[in-house]
Amino acid sequence: MTKFESNVKLIHYPQTSVFDKLSDLTNLSAIVEQAKNPEFMQGIQQQANIDNEKLQQMSETLEKLEFTPDSVTMQGSPLGAVSLHIVERIDPKSIKFEVRNAPVAGNLWIQLLPTSPTECKMKCTIGADLNFFMKQIAKKPLQEGVEKLADMLAMIPY
């Protein structure tokens, strides 16, 4: 399993608040609703420093997401319905996910560490079962992806 780790992100909310929000994925469906607000998306565009085309792609991807307390599924991808399912919660330290219905086995791990009563640090790790050739192709996109995921999770109001 090849691992890709994000930089550590500081979140200005207590560890328990962040864990509570991320451990029930229906809480993240509010982001999809906010993505329909042009002002919200412009703020994301400025913070993430992305162009209009990538912003549009992000918006279209968010519209394809379906949430349950334990999973998030992207409908309409070329691969079908690809899902992330929570497989372990260690309150309030970590949440582990497993990828399902994807051509490559993989997982996601979100780790939280308190720094004060009102702040915590977060790191995301993606693990993917890649052969040598796939590793060379997917290395850069997966590293960028885990970093962007961590950035996005650090921006959410908890």
pLDDT in tens, 23-73: 999 998 887 777 777 787 777 777 777 777 877 777 777 778 889 999 999
Please check the confidence at residue 82 and state whether its pLDDT lies above 80: yes
Residues with Cβ within 8 Å of residue 91, at least 6 apart in sequence = 19, 23
- pTM here is 0.82
On the CB side of 18, how many CA atoms lie within 13 Å of its CA?
31
CATH number at residue 46: 3.30.530.20
Please check the confidence at residue 78 and state whether its pLDDT lies above 70: no
Q: Which domain holds residue 60?
A: 2-155
Per-residue DSSP letters for 94-107?
A: EEEEEEESSSS-EE
Categorize the per-residue pLDDT at 108 as very low, low, confident or very high, splitting at 50, 70 and 90.
very high
Count up the domains in the chain and report the number: 1
User: Which of 35-39, 92-96, 137-141, 144-148 ranks highest by mean pLDDT?
Assistant: 92-96
Please check the confidence at residue 74 and state whether its pLDDT lies above 70: yes
Please check the confidence at residue 125 and state whether its pLDDT lies above 80: yes
